[in-house]
Amino acid sequence: MLREAKAAKLIEWFCKAAIRHAEAMENLQEEVSAAQVEDLDRFYAAVLREGALDLFLTLLDNEDVRVAGMAAVYAMREEPDRCREVLVRLSALPGLTGFRAQAALERWESGDWNK
C-alpha cells in the first residue's frame, strides 16, 4: 500500500472511531467508548509514524463536530493554537459536544493534559 493511501485509510478509520466513540458516550456505553479510545490512540500513533500530520490536521475543519473535536484533542500537543481554536468554537455548542470541548480546554489550560 502506498504511504499516502495508508495514511488516508488510517485517517478514515480515525474518523469512524471518533463517531463511534461519540455515539457510545451519548448512550453511556462505557466499554464501547473505552474500546474506541484504544482504536483512536492506535490510529493517531500510526498517522504520526506515517508522517501524515498535515493530512490529519485537515480533520480540524471537518463538518462533523465529533470528528473535528476528537482531531483537536489528539493533535493538541503538535498544533496547540489551531486545536485550541477548534475546541473554543465547539465549547459553545449545546450538549455533550460542547461540554467535552470545554472539559478538554480546561485540562489543557490547567496543565493536566498529560495526567
Read off the pTM.
0.90
Confidence of residue 86 (pLDDT cuts 50, 70, 90): very high
Reduced to 3 states (helix: H, G, I; strand: E, B; else coil), residue 31 is: helix
Alpha helices in the chain (DSSP H): 3-26, 30-49, 53-57, 65-75, 80-91, 95-110
Q: What is the pLDDT of residue 115?
A: 46
Residue 16's CB: how many other CB atoms inside 10 A? 14
- CA–CA distance, 23 with 49 (Å, rounded to integer): 28
